[in-house]
Amino acid sequence: MLDEIKTVARQHLATDGANLSLRAVARDMGMVSSAIYRYFPSRDDLLTALIIEAYNALGDAVEAAAAGPDRLDLRARWHAACRAARDWALTHPAEYALLYGSPVPGYAAPDDTVSPAQRPPLTLVGLLREGLETGLLSPPPADELSTPLHDDLTELADVFFTGIPPALLARGMAGWTQLFGLISFELFGRLNQTVAHRDEYFDHQVGLLADLIGLPQPR
Amino acid sequence: MLDEIKTVARQHLATDGANLSLRAVARDMGMVSSAIYRYFPSRDDLLTALIIEAYNALGDAVEAAAAGPDRLDLRARWHAACRAARDWALTHPAEYALLYGSPVPGYAAPDDTVSPAQRPPLTLVGLLREGLETGLLSPPPADELSTPLHDDLTELADVFFTGIPPALLARGMAGWTQLFGLISFELFGRLNQTVAHRDEYFDHQVGLLADLIGLPQPR
DNA sequence: TGTACATCAGTGAACGCGCGTTCACTGATGTAC
DNA sequence: TGTACATCAGTGAACGCGCGTTCACTGATGTAC
């Protein structure tokens, strides 16, 4: 039952965006709207459940993709992870918008969403860590950061990204930001009438960021 | 009157997001809701007017900033333009979300919004053009693009970005995408509890993209 | 094997609220003769 | 200078719709004796 509600709710996200209506979901299930309350205490709880599931689905896809290629081919793994994120977003546009679009007015994501939300960026930065450990990736010069930023990113690395030098972390975050920007632009229609070959465009842009990060070219 | 309605409507965007309510706007103006119809034929037309104004405000800010520094200091101009976009977004978060957040369900932006929307990216790519003309910027190797992408971007350049080689255009678009991603992440709360020194972080990330594009370091 | 009872998924009506849009109207202002 | 008329900004009631949430309830299922 819980699953059926969530499935129908997901379909509604696709048409109504984040303005998810409990009544519409109930209607589609052939139930009366109050029946939903047996399963979810409120509309926001249903939304939260959908968000957590979506983050995890995206996280699963990205993690699996990053584990696919040869472990030492960081660039292939980077591309695979990014493509997986994009593929998931293109097949689940409404859920992507729910996660990364404008915040839903009046809805504050509870703490349970934090850790699933970290999975994709953790995966990407994980590649950088492996690069350092295997010596395939050399960190950028340590002095390219201003002191306050150096301190911020050192602290951030200590908490979530152990062992990543701050200047490299900044580049990893640049990659994650770019990935998000590329997907959002494509999904929200900024590429319409501009670029026809979306796959090639995406791969190229992801490759540029891999260069910036310093991922080694395949031999 | 038109201006007053738009001003009040802008304030409402800030709290309700894109679910702009005509009735709420009228209420705040001490009018009856039907009175709005003397000025705007429908809610969507009001939304469109707000969108166009917002694009133009952002465009003004970005263009003015890019014209500020020494004409030949492309990097300073790039930074200034990006900072102007971010500043505008931070001071007008709701309008930024309206422009670049998830699409409003049921609303399709009419054609009048297209050309104001192009102003910021046109400004950024304009810097690249000036770099080419003055010889300060050398285009990336032409063969780094696959054929279909090369063709797409050549065509795009012919229409909107005359004289920009496709591989450079791709990098310019990377910069524009990154700018959008950086601002969105900051505005939508992804940097909360992560990076305290937002200005430095932004400048650093913008600088990294300037490197990628090949903007010359200041002497 | 048969009755009494508890569980619990789902019902249906209601509350109080919001919305966009239409439509006949009032009443002040300004113009024309 | 004074009256008649047109303009037009804003009114107020209504239509028909949607929403989240509460609450007393029905009625089928399963369990206990």
- CATH number of the domain where residue B166 is located: 1.10.357.10
Q: Choose the closest CB to B197 out of A152, A171, A197.
A: A152
Identify the pLDDT of residue A123: 97
In B, which residues are within 8 Å of A174 by CB distance? 178, 205, 208-209
**Domain match, A149 and A204 both:** yes
**Domain match, A75 and A155 both:** yes
Q: Is the CB of A22 under 7 A from strand D?
A: yes
Calpha distance A198→A204 (Å, rounded): 10
- Sequential pLDDT tens for chain A (219 residues): 889 999 999 999 988 888 899 999 999 999 999 999 999 999 999 999 999 999 999 999 999 999 999 999 999 999 999 999 999 999 999 999 999 999 887 788 899 999 999 999 999 999 999 999 999 999 999 889 999 999 999 999 999 999 999 999 999 999 999 999 999 999 999 999 999 999 999 999 999 999 999 999 876
**Across B185-205, average pLDDT:** 96
**Across B98-117, average pLDDT:** 91
**Domain match, A65 and A29 both:** no
A151 CA to chain B: closest CA distance, Å? Answer: 9
Residue B219 — very low, low, confident or very high, per pLDDT cuts 50/70/90? low
The domain that holds B7 is classified in CATH as 1.10.10
Neighbours of B53 (CB within 10 A): 15
Q: Is residue A47 part of a domain?
A: no
Per the structure, how many domains does chain B have? Answer: 2
**Domain match, A20 and A118 both:** no
**Domain match, A78 and A129 both:** yes
Q: Integer distance in angstroms from CA B1 to C1' D9?
A: 11
| B17 with A104: Cβ contact below 8 A | yes
**Domain match, A18 and A91 both:** no
* Rounded percentage of chain B residues whose pLDDT exceeds 70: 100
Identify the pLDDT of residue A19: 85
Angle at B184 between CA A52 and CA A126, to 5 degrees: 60
- Nucleic strand D contacts from chain B, 18-57, CB < 7 Å: 30-35, 38
Q: Integer distance in angstroms from CA A32 to C1' C5?
A: 28
Q: Is residue A22 part of a domain?
A: yes
**Domain match, B9 and B56 both:** no
- Nearest chain B residue (CA) to A201: B149
Q: Is residue B219 part of a domain?
A: no
**Domain match, B102 and B204 both:** yes
Q: Choose the closest CB to B103 out of A171, A189, A204.
A: A189
Point out the least confidently predicted range of A13-22, B119-128, B155-164.
A13-22
Identify the pLDDT of residue A2: 85
**Across B48-73, average pLDDT:** 97
Residue B169 — very low, low, confident or very high, per pLDDT cuts 50/70/90? very high
Identify the pLDDT of residue A104: 83
Identify the pLDDT of residue B14: 85
Q: Is B124 left (phi over 0), alpha (psi -120 to 50) or beta?
A: alpha
Q: Is residue A218 part of a domain?
A: no
Domain holding B126, by residue range, is 52-213
Inter-helix orientation angle A74-91/A198-213, to 10°? 140
Nucleotides of C under 7 A from a protein CB: 8-14, 18-24
**Domain match, B168 and B103 both:** yes
Q: Integer distance in angstroms from CA B51 to C1' D11?
A: 30
| A195 with B153: Cβ contact below 8 A | yes
A104 token code pair: 């839903």
Residue B108 — very low, low, confident or very high, per pLDDT cuts 50/70/90? confident
Residues 6+ apart with CB under 8 A from B63: B119, B123
**Domain match, B82 and B180 both:** yes
Q: Is residue A64 part of a domain?
A: yes
B193 pLDDT above the threshold of 80: yes
Q: Integer distance in angstroms from CA B11 to C1' C30?
A: 35
**Domain match, A14 and A114 both:** no
B67 token code pair: 């014209």
Identify the pLDDT of residue B93: 94
Identify the pLDDT of residue B212: 97
- Nearest chain A residue (CA) to B106: A16
Q: Is residue B77 part of a domain?
A: yes
